[in-house]
Each structure stands twice: as structure tokens, then as C-alpha cells.
Amino acid sequence: MRDETIAGMLLARLGDHRPGLRSRERSWTWDAVVRESAARASLARELRRDGPFHIGVLLENVPEYVLWLGAAALSGATVVGVNPTRTGSYLEQEVRHTDLQLLVTDRAGLDLLDGLDIGVPRDRFLLTDDDGYPARVEGHACEPAADGSVTPETQMLLLFTSGTTGKSKAARCSQGRLAELGRNNSAKYEIKRDDVCYCPMPLFHGNALMALWAPSLAVGATVCLTPRFSASGFLPDVRFYGATFFTYVGKAIGHVLATPERPDDADNTLTHGFGTEASPEDKAGFRRRFGAALVEGYGSSESAGMIERDPETPPTALGRPAHDGVRIVNPETLEICKPAVLDEHGRVGNAEAAVGEIVDVHGAAKFEGYYKNPEADAERVRHGWYWTGDLGYVDGDGFLYFGGRSGDWIRVDSENISALLTQNVLRRHPGVVDAAAFGVPDPRAGDQVMAAIELPPGTAFEDLGLAAFLAAQDDLGTKGAPRFVRVSHALPTTGSGKLKKKEMQLEGWRTGDPVYRWATRGAPEYVLMTEADKAALHAEFAAAGRRRFLP
């Protein structure tokens, strides 16, 4: 069971006196990490009660978080990473749903939970910054061993999905699946024993756990922590640790590239990074500036291993299907979609026939499900297949492309428009930190394209010359330019840094942020919408009988 469980992987690190965990204040060898984890595992077993052995962890990326991951693995418990960006009743309901026995947190977490009933009595909170906490842990020092109940099927994590497209769900992840991901991803992302792996993404998210922590454990690489992601602190942290590898999600790369460029940016130890949602332009800009390659991947808290990278993969493609069970299908007919016909700009010319949902016809058996959510389970597994909920298409050479979520194809004037293409074009603008594109209803029929863009402090919409920029993009097409543009210096995001596209789509032009509207039917020309403009648009919807789209 040595490599089949996270507990086995940890115990294999006993006697390994190379650096295993580092913060700016302190370092631990792998041997010390295992022994500290074992002490916390003993404490957890002492405090265990009847019912699901679920331990909530509400902390920033601090060493205690990693040590409690190890404690859960050795004791057979499940870590439930609590997202500190949630608040109020949403946070209360999300945590109560997971039936916690204990909560490991600090005084900041205690303040966040003030007035909330998460189903855990106050005397079941372990405060890591309490004066008596170190002695309490030290009192449980013991020779590391795994609980006899631990098997590859033992549940290790409940990972809340990001909630970008709706209410989050708690995805199950067993020790066996996480251990397999650790082994596979260390090879896939070329993480070696000598690598120093910098973790700026939150440990309650699958990216940090599945693409960095577990692979580092598998090979004995060093894990380096920062409490939270900081664009300005990114390069100083990399230099402090001598980091060679890191992971990212969402707009992190855009924020790093938005920091002032310096002649010595490439003077660092980074060699590569892995993540999602960095545009080809961002990847090229990052490599030019910092000298490190970014590898984009596809996966989720629920599934992985569906796509294989190929040296010949086009810049905008994900790779090739990992096996013949990974297909693009029409969700209504279940038929395999036709290969995409791409023009010289990479636009899909036969979207109706080529774009479908990414499925794995062999993946249902590997899907471990959601905690107490049979409806969500049934949505993921239909007809005996695993349905990702993501759209994609395959070109004539067999390369698979991400097409966005199910709502990312917008019907404009009887033509399918890719929201993903529009947002990638917007992200290409040097003055835009991040962008999202989505469909909003047209007052008469169909939809219109709306975008939300985030600008760095001190930059105004008028500084962008956005209309001229869009007109110069040959790959955008005549209908892809957004009719509405929401402008912000801080768009709403999930705890892992992904933009809350569904929330912004529901708000549409009714947001409190400034919204600019395409004022003509010719070339793009944007004017700021006034309250009177919004009232007029409201009346237009009402007159057209589309009242269900009104606020």
C-alpha cells in the first residue's frame, strides 16, 4: 500500500531529511513533516466522535494546513477545505452540508465565522494560533503509522467546486485517486525530486492539491508556501525560495504580467508552471519576461487524465484525447460530433456539427461523486458515461480544443458565436488584466455578446482604445465584438481566482460597475450607459414582451 494511498506515500518519506516544506519563517524535512502529521493524527483520533470523520480546515496557505492534510491521511479522516472568500449564509450552509466533527482554524477564521452556525460546537474548534496549541500537539508525538482502516478507497478530501457556473458542490476524492494523481502528475508536469514547488494557489482548491502538493509528495520535492497569492510578491517569493515550478488558476498570470516590467525579471530560478486559463499571448509573454514555460491543462476536482499533451499540439488546443473513450458528442443525439473546420484564424466554421460536450464513456466508474448530492451525481453520469459539462471540438488532426461551458456559445443573428474566443481576444489587449464574455438577451430575439474586463489601477476604459483594438483583430469576426462592456478594477472571483461568470451574466448591464454600450451598427464605438439608457433598455425589453429577462 506504500504508493497506493497518501498515507503510504507519507510513511515512505520517513527518514528523508531533505527539505519537504518551507515557509518564509521555517523549514521542515520530509521526515519532520511526517512526524508532525502523525502527532496531529493522534490528536484527531482522540477527538473523533461517531459519524463521518470530517475535519474542516479554515486557514490560509500556512504550514499547519499541510500538516493537517498529512494528519487526515494517516488517521483516515477527510479534510474539508473551507473557502474563506465565502461569507454569511452561503458559507454557513456550505460548511454545514459537510458534517464536520472538528474545525482547524485561527483567530482570523474565528472572526469570519462569527455569528454563523456551521454545525460545530465552539469547543470543537482547534485554534492554531492559540497559546496552548503547540503543547497540545507535542503531547501527541508518536511513531508515525497509518490507521488500520486506511485503504485506497478511504475518502481523503471533500473539494468544493469553484461555483463559477452555479452553486458549488463537495466533490469526493479518495486517497487512492489523489495518490494516483500525485504519481501521474509528477511525470506529466515534470516535477522531480530536486524541484522547489511554489504554491501560490489556495490549498482548499484542487489545483494546489492535485497538481502541486500530491506530486511533490510522490517524488519528494520541496513544497513552499505563501499565505495567499500576490502578484507583486510572486517574483520576490520565487527568488527567496529558489522556486523552479508553480501552479496557477484563473487570472493569476494576467495579474503577474500587469506588474511593472523590470530588466532583471528573467533573473530567477523558475523553469516551468502548470495551470489553466492563461491565453497563448499570456504564455508567450510570461516566457519572454520570466524565462519559464507555462503548460496549460484540462481537468477538474471530479476528473483528470482525459487529455494528453503532444509536442505538436497547436497553441490554442489542449492536446489529444488520452484514450478512445474521450469523445465530443451531441448531448441530445449522443452521436460523435464531426471534426471542426477551422479557418486561418482558428474559428470554427461548422459549430453546429462540431461543437459538443466532452465526455468519457469509460469514466463513470472512476467518478467518486459528490457528498450528499445525488442530483449532481446523476447530472455527471448519464447513459453510463461521465459528462464533464464542458464543451469542446476536435480538429481534423485529432487535437481537442476547449469550447467553454455549456453557455459559452451564444446565438447572435442565427449564428453561433464563441464567448471563449471573444474573451481570449479581450485578454490579448495589453491594458486588460482579465476578461470574461457571455451571452445576454437581445431585446428582440436571441442573444448579444457582453464582456466584463478588469483593468489595473490607474487605467481608465478610455485609455484602451478598445473599439479600434477590436476592429484590428482579424480572428474576432463581425459578430464577436461585445455589445456591452462592464469595466472594473476588481471583477468578482471565486476563492481560487476564477471569474464568477455566471454571477456577472445574471447581472448583465444591471451591475453597479460602469457599462459601455456599442452605440452604432457599424464599427465598434462604445459610450458609457447612463441610468436613463438602462431605463430605456428596460422599456425595450418590456415592449418586446421579453419580461422574463427583466430584473
Q: Lowest-confidence range among 121-135, 176-190, 521-535?
A: 521-535
CATH of span 317-405: 2.30.38.10
DSSP secondary structure letters along 415-479: EEEEHHHHHHHHHTSTT-SEEEEEEEE-SSSSEEEEEEEE--TT--GGGT-HHHHHHT-TTT-TT
- Residue 157 — very low, low, confident or very high, per pLDDT cuts 50/70/90? very high
- Residue 329 — very low, low, confident or very high, per pLDDT cuts 50/70/90? very high
CATH topology of domain 409-549: GMP Synthetase; Chain A, domain 3 (3.30.300)
| Strand blocks (E) in 299-426 | 307-308, 320-321, 326-329, 356-360, 381-382, 385-394, 400-405, 409-412, 415-418
Residues whose CB is less than 8 angstroms from the CB of residue 146 and which lie 6 or more positions away in sequence, other chains included? 1, 5, 7, 8, 11, 73, 74, 76
Residues 414, 353: Cα–Cα separation, whole Å: 15
pLDDT tens column, 344-354: 877 788 877 89
Residues 529, 336: Cα–Cα separation, whole Å: 44
Q: Pick the residue with more confidence: 493 or 219? A: 219
Give me the half-sphere count of Cα atoms (radius 13 Å) on the Cβ side of residue 343.
Answer: 10
Q: Lowest-confidence range among 56-60, 299-303, 348-352?
A: 299-303
Number of neighbours of residue 517 by Cβ within 10 angstroms: 20
Residues 186, 173: Cα–Cα separation, whole Å: 18
Q: Lowest-confidence range among 130-139, 329-338, 469-478, 504-513?
A: 469-478
Phi, psi of 222 (to 5 degrees): -90, 130
Residues 195, 218: Cα–Cα separation, whole Å: 12
Residues 361, 356: Cα–Cα separation, whole Å: 14
Number of neighbours of residue 444 by Cβ within 10 angstroms: 11
What proportion of the chain, given as a percentage, has pLDDT over 70? Answer: 93
Q: Pick the residue with more confidence: 507 or 339? A: 339
Instruction: Decide if pLDDT at 388 tops 50.
Output: yes
Instruction: Decide if pLDDT at 297 tops 90.
Output: no
Where are the chain's structural domains? 6-175, 317-405, 409-549
> Regarding beta strands 385-394 and 245-248, do their DSSP bridges make them parallel or antiparallel, or are they unpaired?
unpaired
Give the containing element (helix H, strand E) for 20: strand 19-22
Instruction: Decide if pLDDT at 127 tops 80.
Output: yes
CATH topology of domain 6-175: Rossmann fold (3.40.50)
Please answer whether residues 116 and 91 qualify as being in contact, where contact means their C-beta atoms are separated by less than 8 angstroms: yes
| pLDDT, mean over the chain | 90
pLDDT tens column, 431-478: 999 999 988 877 665 678 899 999 999 999 999 999 999 988 877 876
pLDDT tens column, 114-126: 999 999 999 999 9
Residues 401, 392: Cα–Cα separation, whole Å: 5
Number of neighbours of residue 510 by Cβ within 10 angstroms: 13
Give the containing element (helix H, strand E) for 293: strand 293-296
For position 301, what pLDDT does the model report? 74
Please answer whether residues 144 and 35 qualify as being in contact, where contact means their C-beta atoms are separated by less than 8 angstroms: yes
Cell of 315: 497553441
For position 496, what pLDDT does the model report? 73
Domains 6-175 and 317-405 share a fold: no
Q: Pick the residue with more confidence: 297 or 229? A: 229
For position 520, what pLDDT does the model report? 61
Tell me the pTM. 0.81
DSSP secondary structure letters along 145-198: ---TT--TTSEEEEEE---SSSS--EEEEEHHHHHHHHHHHHHHTT--TT-EEE
Go through the chain and tell me how many residues it has.
551
Phi, psi of 42 (to 5 degrees): -65, -40
